[in-house]
Structure 1
Amino acid sequence: MSGTSRKGPVFDPGLCRCCGALKKCRLLNHEYDWQGKKEVYSDMFVDCFGLMLSHLDGSELERLICATCVLRLRDASAFRGQVLRCEETLLQASIHVHGENVTPEVKQEPEVKLEERPEEVSEPPEAPEDDVMDPDYVDDGVDNGDLDVTVAKPKKSLKKEKKKVKRREKRGKRELVEKMRKTGERLRKLEKIEIQPAVEKKRVVDADYKAYKDCVTLVESSFVCPFDTSFSDYFCVYCRQVFTDPDKLREHTLTHDPSAYKDIVTAVKKLPQIDVHRIDCRLCPVKIDTLDMFKDHLNNVHGMTFYPNPSDFLIYKLTLTNLTCLECNQTFGFFHALRKHMAEHFGTCICDVCGAHYFEERMLILHQKTHQRIDENFPCKDCGKNFKSKHSRYLHEARTHKKEPAYQCVKCDAVLFSYTLRYRHMIEVHGEERLFPCEHCDRAYDSRKSLREHNRRSHLKIFKHQCDLCDKRFYLPSRLKEHMATHTGERNYRCEYCGKSYPRLRGLKVHMQSHGAEKKFRCTLCGAAFTQNVNLRNHVKRQHQSLDLDEFHD
């Protein structure tokens, strides 16, 4: 993602063309401010190395440099400036030594300090102009009256100082000339050495950036369908619209521009998921069936680099039912089970206790809590019931004790009392298409759970609950419990209006319709009215046994 700091544009992440790493980068040919100075990195390459960089007028992603390489470039530029300054100093010194009529600088003669007696700190009287010091004067330590000053052999000391200064100057000149001679020899040796052309260092591309580029290339150059999921619902990665039918998801995704995917995939932390039901090239009308064919096609025909790795993104062929793993051909009834299975092939987060595989670290952490001996409980303050998470306790308190809705709709401000009500709300209010047809009959359901129960009950005939007193079997334990009332004679379901009791709840529900619904079925002989046709037929059997029942069939 690109951004702008107070010093200039910044790309994070970006591929540095100097070291090949995926880091936070800047533009090579943009002017940046550093410590009050303006710097353009492409110009610094020219100044330091005489290197003209290519593709500086192309895409921004092709002309990036990371902060590490910028620091090295600044060091090289500073070193170049240091060398130039030293060369300038050396040339000036050479001109000074070998130039004509050049008078060497002579240091100023050192002053001769006069020693005062500690008893008197006053300055001595100024001597007259004609009072000149005798050149043969020697200090004999005798007091000279008022002028109490001792000078130790001034004539010889001045001569010695001058000789020392001259000797230092000569020695400095000899050392400078020797340095210049050695420098000249080194330069001549360097001129004789044949300069070898620089060998271009092979750029090492970061693995994460390589996976990112492969995924973006695949989406932008083919008709594959990127998607996101929540359990077994499919989401459009561009607008987050939800689908249950993969065909409608693919049809909808074609309405979006695939070039927007490169910005979306960088923001998503989860492993990208790609539906390869249709691959076909977007750049030309070639039909392609497999990723290997698409890879060869891009490399050979369009000259694009594409090296897909199975662990870079998850590949599926989405169908409404019977989803198949493309690695081992194992079949699953719904997507959530398939994705959990895919973690066994490509999940890098592995539980060290049981070996379970996960794609994300957070899911592994949640799984590892199940192995802990002491489970952390979150008791309800009102009734003392324990829950495994704070969220579960919050939902319990909101629904049971506070009587407040707790399920927020993601598309509006509505808050519902249960997950089921929110599910219905998304279908009825926001028009989400959630229809799961049965592949064995013409029935359809609005949830996978209902479809699964229908298949087990109606088609697979999975009846695990058997009556101990007869051979009847039932799909649900509640149905077995209702059936047991036929053996015991219990009639636990009583009507609150008329007092009639029934052994099954369904019987009571049918009866309750007689109290609130319109009585459409009327007997033509006695005028008795009923809410259901079955009740009319039973009435005729009991009260009018000698008549033909077909006359009363409505």
Structure 2
Amino acid sequence: MGERIQSKKTFICSFCDCSASFSKSWKLEAHICKHTGLKPFPCVDCDKNFCTRYQLTRHQLNHSGDKPHKCQADGCVEAFATHSSMKNHMDKIHNNEGKPYKCDHQGCGKDFSKKHQLKAHMYEHTNLLPFHCSVTGCTKEFISRGRLDHHKKVHEGYPCEEDGCAFQGKTWSAYQTHKKEHRAKLPCDTCQKQFTNDRFLLLHKRHVHLGVKKELACPRKCGKSFRRQFHLESHVLSEHKGMRAFSCASPGCGKRFAMKVRPEVS
């Protein structure tokens, strides 16, 4: 078989300490919402807001009345604004015939499209979980195959994919932490401080060693300016829009902030 071609991820999150990258711009837009807690795409016809322009465009079909997705069942004239709505209609209304696995428990009569769904359903009648861990010494049981497969990772671990590395994390978070150790380190040729991103290295050289201070003026013309985009965005949200979605977790503090994370200092 041919080697699998990986999609090039050209849309990179600009928040410090975040290495997320995406192959599509709308996926990056949705990711940014996790940092800011904001939904920057408002609908002009109602009070709803969305994380991405794609979500907004799909929502606006509900206002326009345009329903381009026709039900594919013979004789059905229903139409829907989105493909997912049409698919849900097909599954609920027309696809009941495609459920060959029927519960034979007296008085039940439910049917399912897949065998593992029927096995999970039988727990409601027997209280016996159908999926058992096969690892010697482990007696755990689960209601679905998906939960069993997730549990198996506790025994199998998460092996490092780098050549020659024998690391095997017991948890996904431990594996992700270890992966950072393999990222290429880019040293500053002046002070030898290391960076994992060439953009951060360039900014470090400009600000620390060349003394170049990039000034970002507030677009609201209040006279303030900032060195970092993060600080400018935080200023506009908190001072001009009054939006402080995140509160300090320390008991008795009560301070609120516009942004969820703060950048590291060069």
TM-score, scaled to structure 1? 0.18
Higher relative contact order (CA 8 A, sep 6+): 2
TM-score, scaled to structure 2? 0.32
Indicate the structure (1 or 2) with the bigger Cα radius of gyration. Answer: 1
